[in-house]
């Protein structure tokens, strides 16, 4: 959803024009002056040419009133923030849309606060389709008043914005959400290969399951569109999903929660990354389930 510029946010700076960041920054550029930086500069130059954003060197991004980052991992955000530290301006708000790690993000927030910069963790859900449509769900941790100040910025790429708690809470919700995605995907895959061996084609099994209580986003969308078609299009890599599930394990540890099912999902995804590599689509994890069962989901 696009929104009109709010008076105290004249310029936005976007860091990280990947599969998610590029369309998010395009929505921002349609609404207000938007500076863009990407580690691979040619990507930012192409974004500027296509969407009317302005490509800047890293230090140039500090001119913005609100910084939005969407990098792979928290360690990448910490590294970029360290390189940018000398140029940061007091009063800046840093909205981190990376699916990140709560504890190092709290440390980063404290470091940024020394420069007068307020950090919000604001990971997103909805995939590349949601980013392109500007309908992402954004789960925000940090100061609620600061969120209200920058909400018009976030609204440019969001369909829903939920304040979920203090700094790190957004990352924690995202990690648990994606662990549920992984659990549903893997469990549906195990069920479907067993049904295929029992003589039930995937399309028939899914017709029943998706009208019944065993359905999930995996059974309704991911498996029919990506697995049954054998296309496995790479929009969200297995490596990034495994990263999220690993972060969730830290959340479980911090809570002192046994959570045997969710921990098992983390183990399985780690095996899948070892066997298939991190760059395949996350749904390709079911190729491992198929290999173990000796049956394809078709
Ligand atoms: P991509 O791999 O497509 O893009 C990653 C971006 O991060 C690129 O701009 C890349 O720059 C940059 N980057 C990576 N490492 C560094 C570094 N060390 N320093 C500076 N920049 C770096 O990932 P996505 O866009 O898919 O994902 C981004 C975030 O959003 C992740 O945290 C992911 O988990 C999350 N996410 C992804 C979804 C999806 O469907 N894809 C859905 C929801 C959340 P360069 O171009 O130079 O490589």
Contacts of 72 (CB under 8 A, 6+ apart): 18, 98, 240, 243
User: How far apart are alpha carbons 265 and 249 in whole angstroms?
Assistant: 10
Q: How many helices (H) and strands (E) does the chain have?
A: 12, 9
As a whole number of Å, the CA-based R_g of the chain is 20
pLDDT for res 218:
98
- Beta carbons of 223 and 189 less than 8 angstroms apart: yes
Q: Tens digit of pLDDT for each residue in 64-91?
A: 999 999 999 999 999 999 999 999 999 9
- By alpha-carbon position, which residue is closest to atom 7 of ligand 1? 71
- Beta carbons of 210 and 218 less than 8 angstroms apart: no
Q: Tens digit of pLDDT for each residue in 85-117?
A: 999 999 999 999 999 999 999 999 999 999 999
Q: Are strands 124-125 and 136-141 parallel, antiparallel or unpaired?
A: antiparallel
Please state the atom number of ligand 1 nearest to the C-alpha of residue 241. 34
**Does any ligand 1 atom lie closer than 6 A to the CB of residue 38?**
yes
pLDDT for res 103:
98
Catalytic sites, residue numbers: 174
pLDDT for res 3:
42
pLDDT for res 9:
75
Tokens 């994606």 identify what position?
178
- By alpha-carbon position, which residue is closest to atom 31 of ligand 1? 72
Share of the chain above pLDDT 70, in %: 97
Tokens 């029919």 identify what position?
224
pLDDT for res 2:
40
Tell which residue, 63, 51, 36, 166, has the closest CA to residue 109: 166
Please state the atom number of ligand 1 nearest to the C-alpha of residue 235. 41
pLDDT for res 63:
97
Task: Read off the tokens for 237.
Answer: 């890599």
Stretches where the chain sits below pLDDT 70 are 1-8
**Does any ligand 1 atom lie closer than 6 A to the CB of residue 136?**
no
**Does any ligand 1 atom lie closer than 6 A to the CB of residue 177?**
no
Report CA(16)–ligand 1 centroid distance (Å): 6
Tokens 């980052």 identify what position?
69
**Does any ligand 1 atom lie closer than 6 A to the CB of residue 20?**
yes
* Coil/strand/helix, residue 232: coil
Report CA(133)–ligand 1 centroid distance (Å): 18
């Amino acid at each position: 959803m696009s929104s009109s510029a709010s008076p105290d946010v004249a310029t936005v700076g976007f860091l990280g024009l990947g599969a998610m960041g590029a369309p998010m920054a395009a929505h921002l550029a349609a609404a207000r002056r938007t500076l863009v930086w990407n580690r691979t500069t040619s990507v930012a130059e192409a974004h500027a040419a296509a969407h009317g954003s302005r490509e800047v060197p890293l230090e140039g991004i500090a001119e913005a009133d609100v910084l939005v980052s969407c990098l792979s991992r928290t360690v990448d955000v910490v590294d970029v923030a360290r390189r940018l530290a000398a140029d940061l301006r007091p009063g800046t708000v840093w909205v981190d849309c990376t699916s990140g790690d709560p504890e190092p993000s709290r440390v980063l927030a404290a470091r940024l606060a020394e420069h007068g910069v307020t950090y919000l963790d604001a990971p997103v859900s909805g995939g590349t389709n949601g980013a392109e449509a500007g309908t992402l769900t954004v789960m925000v941790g940090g100061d609620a008043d600061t969120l209200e100040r920058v909400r018009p910025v976030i609204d440019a790429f969001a369909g829903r914005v939920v304040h979920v708690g203090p700094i790190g809470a957004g990352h924690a919700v995202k990690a648990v959400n994606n662990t549920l995605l992984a659990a549903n995907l893997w469990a549906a895959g195990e069920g479907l290969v067993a049904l295929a061996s029992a003589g039930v084609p995937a399309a028939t099994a899914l017709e029943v399951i998706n009208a019944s209580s065993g359905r999930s986003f995996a059974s309704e969308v991911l498996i029919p569109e990506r697995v049954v078609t054998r296309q496995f299009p790479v929009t969200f890599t297995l490596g990034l999903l495994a990263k999220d599930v690993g972060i969730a394990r830290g959340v479980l540890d911090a809570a002192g929660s046994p959570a045997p099912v969710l921990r098992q999902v983390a183990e399985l995804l780690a095996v899948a990354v070892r066997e298939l590599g991190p760059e395949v689509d996350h749904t390709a994890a079911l190729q491992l389930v198929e290999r173990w069962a000796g049956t394809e989901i078709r």
